[in-house]
Amino acid sequence: MAVAIGQLDRKAVFYRYATDPGAKEVPSTLNALGEEVRVSPSEIELPPSFCAAWAKREDLSDQERLANDMQIAGVTSRWIVASTASTRQITPADVMVVDGRRWNITGVKESLRGARHQYLELTATEAL
């Protein structure tokens, strides 16, 4: 099924960290009492953006999990973007922000929709 250009209706901005934000170790900081506090990936300051593109969102799954004794819901989505020199630089180490929500990219592949090399499919999980 081809993607109509009008279906790319969300502006996605891509950021690249100097180090991998998806590393197993969760960043921490100290609070006012000197206690170590874990930092959510969505609270980490973003570096300058390196790419922006219009995208189409397709939800794949949702999940609920417990973190710090709180129930958290998350969503995994497939994002379709036009394949350009800039978007072909996107890797799973990058972060995407769409509508003010931060997404951790977990996969990038050439889409089978449309002509060859026309679109990329990004799999991303919302950063909680």
List domains and CATH numbers for the chain.
5-21+28-126 (2.40.10)
9-13, 17-21, 29-33, 75-79: which range is least confident on average?
A: 17-21
pLDDT digits (tens, 9 = 90+) for 74-125: 788 999 999 999 999 999 989 999 998 999 999 999 987 767 778 999 999 9
Query: Can you tell me whether residue 30 is helix, strand or coil?
Result: strand
Q: Is the pLDDT of residue 22 over 60?
A: no
Question: Rg (Cα) of the chain, in Å, rounded?
Answer: 16
